[in-house]
């Protein structure tokens, strides 16, 4: 597959047009040894045939829409369901399954574009979307922009799976999330109401904690989704770039810090990877072999008027920015 490379002295990122996805991120550990820190598949055919959204741009609507339907301006829209009765990451044949257009990398950045026509997967409005990946020293920034010719709903994110150890389990990674609240979910991973405090629960990552320390506790919010797969409402004002997460891998010293202007970050411990997905190194991926930090709008927001609005109207410009900064300690 044709990989477009973005490089600095401490970071290498590979991007392909299929799904506007990240297929490689390499950075050194505390001793200067470089390694891959994101899960990836061996070739393009594997990406076209695999589930899991590895490294992909997902949309039109990241995460889930309950009942695969929503009402906007008094009109109900229906999306083909692709997870039981619900729509996940925009429904079948979402943004992750298209070849995006690009002029190729320009130095340390690349912009990819995709047009989603009116009615695509049931969503209204013709949407003109772009994503720019840029490497600047230790930082990888991801910027989504979009415009529409009719009112629609929109939430875009990248679905990279991270393992800062370069392989093996991710349960020893120490995670800190700058969030005092999280969305409660049911066993379909759908939010059941307004955000609730993390205090006093195994979902509390306000102070650093190992992924594996509490993942098997019998708390209902963990057992519902077989681990962590929750939208953490990031402290501070949405629309402003602010700290959202910090993760440390103690053995290698690698760290990743996340800033975003989005309302939430979905912290996901790869609960659906069951050992059938073969990665580029021939190893199979299992639960907790990686984690995702998906900066996005709140899941199912089109069906929750009390959540931050996910509506985009003609004349407005959607912008979603995320920055991952890699370092060592």
> ω before 133 within 30° of 0 (cis)?
no
The reply to whether 159 belongs to the active site is yes
Tell me which residue has tokens 């609960």. 271
Using only C-alpha atoms, the chain has a radius of gyration, in whole angstroms, of 18
Structure tokens belonging to residue 55: 């490294």
Residue 119, helix vs strand vs coil? coil
The reply to whether 173 belongs to the active site is no
Cβ atoms of 229 and 266 closer than 8 Å: yes
> Rounded to whole angstroms, how far apart are CA atoms 120 and 117?
5
Q: Which candidate in 36, 249, 257, 294 is catalytic?
A: 294
> Rounded to whole angstroms, how far apart are CA atoms 270 and 279?
14
Query: Could you tell me where the DSSP H helices lie in 153-248?
Result: 220-223
- The neighbour count for residue 163, using CB atoms within 10 Å, is 23
Task: Using alpha carbons only, give the angle 197, 201, 202 rounded to the nearest 5 degrees.
Answer: 125
Distances in whole angstroms, Cα of residue 124 to Cα of each of 151, 157, 161, 170, 314: 7, 19, 30, 39, 12
Q: Which candidate in 89, 159, 178, 230 is catalytic?
A: 159
Task: Using alpha carbons only, give the angle 239, 240, 245 rounded to the nearest 5 degrees.
Answer: 110
Catalytic residues: 159, 294
């Amino acid at each position: 597959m044709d990989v477009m490379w973005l490089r600095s002295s401490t970071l290498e990122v590979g991007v392909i047009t299929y799904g506007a996805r990240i297929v490689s991120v390499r950075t050194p550990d505390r001793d200067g040894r470089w390694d891959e820190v994101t899960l990836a598949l061996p070739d393009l055919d594997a990406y076209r045939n695999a589930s899991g959204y590895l490294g992909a741009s997902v949309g039109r609507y990241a995460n889930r829409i309950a009942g695969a339907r929503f009402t906007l301006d008094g009109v109900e829209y229906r999306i083909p369901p692709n997870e039981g009765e619900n729509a996940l990451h925009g429904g079948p044949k979402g943004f992750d399954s298209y070849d995006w257009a690009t002029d190729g990398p320009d130095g340390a950045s690349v912009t990819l574009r995709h047009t989603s026509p009116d009615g695509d997967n049931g969503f209204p409005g013709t949407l003109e979307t772009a994503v720019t990946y840029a490497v600047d020293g230790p930082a990888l920034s991801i910027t989504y922009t979009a415009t529409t010719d009719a009112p629609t709903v929109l939430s875009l994110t990248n679905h990279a799976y991270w393992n800062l150890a370069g392989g093996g389990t991710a349960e020893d990674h120490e995670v800190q999330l700058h969030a005092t609240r999280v969305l409660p979910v049911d066993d379909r991973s759908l939010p059941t109401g307004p955000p609730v405090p993390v205090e006093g629960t195994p979902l509390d990552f306000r102070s650093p904690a190992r992924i594996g320390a509490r993942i098997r506790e019998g708390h209902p919010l963990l057992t519902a989704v077989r681990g962590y797969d929750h939208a953490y409402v990031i402290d501070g004002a949405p629309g402003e770039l602010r700290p959202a997460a910090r993760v440390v891998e103690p053995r290698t010293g690698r760290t990743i810090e996340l800033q975003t202007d989005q309302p939430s970050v979905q912290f996901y411990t790869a609960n659906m990877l069951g050992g059938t997905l073969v990665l580029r190194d021939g190893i199979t991926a299992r639960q907790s072999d990686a984690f995702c930090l998906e900066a996005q709008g709140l899941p199912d927001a089109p069906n929750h008027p009390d959540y931050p609005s996910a509506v985009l109207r003609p004349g407005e410009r959607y912008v979603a920015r995320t920055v991952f900064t890699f370092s060592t300690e």
